[in-house]
Amino acid sequence: MTVEVNQPGPIRILVDADACPVKDEIYKVAWRHEVPVTIVSNSHFRIPVHPLITRVVVSDGFDAADDWIAEGADARAVVVTADILLADRCVKAGATVLSSTGKPFTANSIGAAVATRAIMADLRAGGDVIGGPAPFSKVDRSRFLSALDAALVRLKRV
């Protein structure tokens, strides 16, 4: 009798790429760890020619890129997104989820992030003028590099 053991799938990085400011950093960390990256967007843009980098261009339908990423998210995926609702879907699927500033979205933090997003949307809909996020900085870039590296190291140990 042969017992089949479920082997975990490969570690991979899924990127919500249309407005992602850290694509170059993702490539560098992925190459160092030899982890494949899938860049998902609604439009074509240049990516490095490298066997670990794949581009997926989805339709311009509402949430098409989010749907593609959420369907591929699991415990062996690192998802990079600034979209809180996509982050929520991916966290629920068991993925490691990072914002482009390196802030992790976790099961403990995603509820508050979704609630804050809803409150801000209500304020904007009511005509309130509210500020957006702080400008992206070198500290954010550095924090992201560190968080992505740590996430991949952690997944490799599992």
Q: Give tens-digit pLDDT for 72-101.
A: 999 999 999 999 899 999 999 999 999 999
Look up the pTM and report it.
0.83
Q: Give the span between the Cα atoms of 31 and 92, in whole angstroms.
A: 27
Strands 96-98 and 104-105: antiparallel
**Beta-carbon contacts of residue 94 (< 8 Å; ≥ 6 apart):** 73, 74, 75
Q: How confident is the model at residue 121 (pLDDT cuts 50, 70, 90)?
A: low
pLDDT digits (tens, 9 = 90+) for 126-151: 776 676 677 889 999 999 999 999 99
Q: Could you tell me the two tokens for 47?
A: 């990516």
Q: How confident is the model at residue 116 (pLDDT cuts 50, 70, 90)?
A: low
**Dist. CA 28–CA 149, nearest whole Å:** 10
The pLDDT value recorded for residue 115 is 61
CA–CA separation, 98 and 65 (whole Å): 17
Q: What is the mean pLDDT of residues 53-65?
A: 92
CA dihedral sign, ordered 35, 149, 142, 73? positive
Q: How confident is the model at residue 107 (pLDDT cuts 50, 70, 90)?
A: confident
Q: For residue 110, what pLDDT is reported?
A: 65
Phi and psi at 34, nearest 5°, equal 55, 50
